[in-house]
Amino acid sequence: MSTRTITVTTPSGDVPLTITESGAGGRPVLLLHGGAGPDSVTGFGDALAGRFPFRVLSPVYPGFSGTARPGWLDSMGTLAGVLGGLLEDLGLTDVIVAGSSVGGWVAAELALAAPERVGRLVLIDPAGLDSADHPIADFFSLTPDQLADLSWANPEGHRIDPAAMPEAQRAILLGNREALLAYGGRSMADPALAARLGGITAPTLVIWGEADRIVTPGYGKEYAAAIPGAVFRMVPAAGHLPQLENPEAVLGLFGELVTAAGYQ
């Protein structure tokens, strides 16, 4: 695993991105983290690269992990535009774009904005859909204990106490929260997204933790139904972050994708 900084040039300005890369080569995978930050996908990226012929790239969104976020970078759409520029600068096409939580929302936006770059789409408990029948939990009103209870099939061992953390770590958590609010808004949803999801052309796999109560499996089925031809698969013994709580099951679903796509 290696880490480097790549500067993406956009019409609004240059954006430095910290990228963690795993795997010596093979099919490119852009692995996108959620509001929990890059640690929620980095270890899983290593597992993907160890199991399959993948080159896994995991960017840190500006504003997360203590990085700077320019003021104009304030929506999932603008973030997707930066990530599309990253793929263009790297000359990557037929990319497997996989995202967790709000990273799934960014992945969907990227598939719409740069379909020529996205070969397959994997959405893991994504946010972004405005559902009247299955509303998203009000993330910004939750205490840490409430967030753990809704996020994990087995929350014990995943609880955090910000008051017990070093000041630098608390500052990163606060910065992550502020960046998440800037990108997704308080509702973590876009009322126009459902209609736009119908424009996704990449073969799409939607993965859901069966115990997720941040965005429930009913929400997940609604999400998948909005994407033409999307396949919906449930992961047992997992909540909002199945790649952390039941990684073997999620790796198995990636294995099915590899077989179905004929990747070598």
pLDDT tier, 119 (very low <50, low <70, confident <90, very high otherwise): very high
Q: Which residues contact 211 (CB under 8 A, 6 or more apart)?
A: 152, 153, 237, 238, 239
User: In sequence order, what are the beta bridge partners of 65?
Assistant: none
DSSP string, 43-88: HHHHHHHHHSSEEEEEEEPTTSTT----TT--SHHHHHHHHHHHHH
Q: How far apart are CA 70 and CA 85, in angstroms?
A: 16
Q: Is the pLDDT of residue 264 over 90?
A: no
Question: What is the DSSP code (8-state) at residue 206?
Answer: E
Nearest CA to 173 out of 162, 184, 163 is that of 162
Percent of the chain with pLDDT over 90: 91
pLDDT at residue 164 in the model: 85
Q: Model confidence over 39-86: pLDDT tens digits?
A: 999 999 999 999 999 999 999 999 999 999 999 999 999 999 999 999
What is the 3-state secondary structure of 108-155? HHHHHHCCCCEEEEEEECCCEECCCCCCCCCHHHCCHHHHHHHHCCCC
Contact present, 38 and 20 (Cβ < 8 Å)? yes
Main-chain phi, psi angles of 190, to 5 degrees: -125, 115
Confidence check: pLDDT of 224 > 80: yes
DSSP state of 14: E
Cα separation, 176 vs 160, whole angstroms: 15
Under the banding of pLDDT at 50, 70 and 90, the label for residue 159 is confident
